[in-house]
């Protein structure tokens, strides 16, 4: 019996999220289908994060167990060939790819052994409509004040009750207290010279839509609709309606999953 840990990247545009659903194309469902063909046995994946429809991943992790003969290094190559289109895959890239496959101890679980995650949220800050970037960025047309957003981010970093940054509809959690180790706002430009802002957030866990609501709140700070100094009171209130809007899924990327606490905390 092998226990395999996968690292996966995907463009979430045409997926109905991670979790398998009847009659819908999902990342988990597609991977389980292809791995079942390669391993010649049913496969059930345990994913670290149940990303929503439209959300992307640069480093999603998932594990599965099975009694199959194909070598681990060949498993990834065979699965990626099918995911890219099989015999017609020359020169083509699909929207889902396995980046690595490794054998791990039998008791390892991709979700329950994770110590934390890093997300990146990409904002395109320009006036002109960008149709070819609409599935990769959240376009904000009015100029954002990045310095004000950074001041607000300073209040979010640390250990807090993040109930105000949680959407209704997620799984009930025992506690809404989380630790955000880093929250950085990085300015850049596209190849065409358009301004971008990347919000990078690393923490020990995230509530339902927490990153998207934090992003929406920071955008409202950047637009001058909220003061950076309002963040402590928003956090203390625990009220969702006091925080900003929920940013759309298209700009969100699951960047990295941490299994080492020291790596997560930057120790």
Active site residues: 52
Q: Which residues, listed in sequence order, are joined to residue 117 by a DSSP beta bridge?
A: 203, 257
> Would you tell me how many other CB atoms lie within 10 Å of the CB of residue 115?
15
Using left for φ > 0, alpha for ψ between -120 and 50, and beta otherwise, residue 28 falls in alpha
Phi, psi of 38 (to 5 degrees): -70, -45
Q: Which residues are annotated as a binding site for substrate?
A: 119
Token reading at 266: 């930057």
Residues 56, 10: contact at Cβ < 8 Å? Answer: yes
Q: Which residues are annotated as a binding site?
A: 119
Token reading at 136: 């990769």
3-state secondary structure of 98: strand
């Amino acid at each position: 019996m092998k226990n395999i840990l996968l690292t996966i990247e995907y463009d979430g545009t045409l997926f109905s999220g991670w979790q398998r659903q009847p009659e819908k194309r999902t990342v988990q469902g597609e991977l389980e289908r292809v791995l079942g063909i390669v391993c010649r046995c049913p496969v059930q994946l345990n994913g670290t994060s149940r990303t929503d429809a439209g959300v992307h991943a640069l480093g999603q992790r998932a594990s599965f167990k099975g009694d199959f003969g194909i070598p681990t290094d060949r498993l990834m190559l065979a699965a990626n060939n099918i995911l890219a289109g099989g015999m017609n895959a020359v020169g083509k890239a699909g929207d889902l790819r396995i980046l690595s496959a490794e054998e791990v101890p039998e008791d390892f679980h991709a979700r329950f052994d994770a110590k934390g995650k890093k997300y990146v949220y990409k904002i395109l800050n320009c006036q002109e409509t960008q149709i070819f970037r609409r599935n990769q960025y959240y376009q904000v047309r009015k100029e954002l004040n990045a310095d004000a957003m950074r001041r607000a981010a300073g209040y979010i970093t640390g250990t807090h009750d993040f109930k105000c940054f949680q959407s209704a509809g997620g799984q009930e959690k025992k506690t809404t207290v989380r630790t955000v180790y880093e929250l950085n706002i990085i300015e850049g430009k596209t190849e065409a010279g358009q301004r971008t802002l990347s919000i990078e957030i690393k923490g020990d866990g995230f509530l339902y839509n927490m990153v998207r609501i934090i992003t929406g709140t920071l955008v409202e700070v950047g637009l001058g609709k909220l003061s950076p100094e309002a963040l402590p009171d928003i956090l203390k209130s625990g009220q969702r309606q006091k925080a900003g809007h929920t940013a759309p899924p298209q700009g969100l990327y699951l960047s990295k999953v941490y299994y080492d606490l020291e790596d997560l905390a930057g120790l």
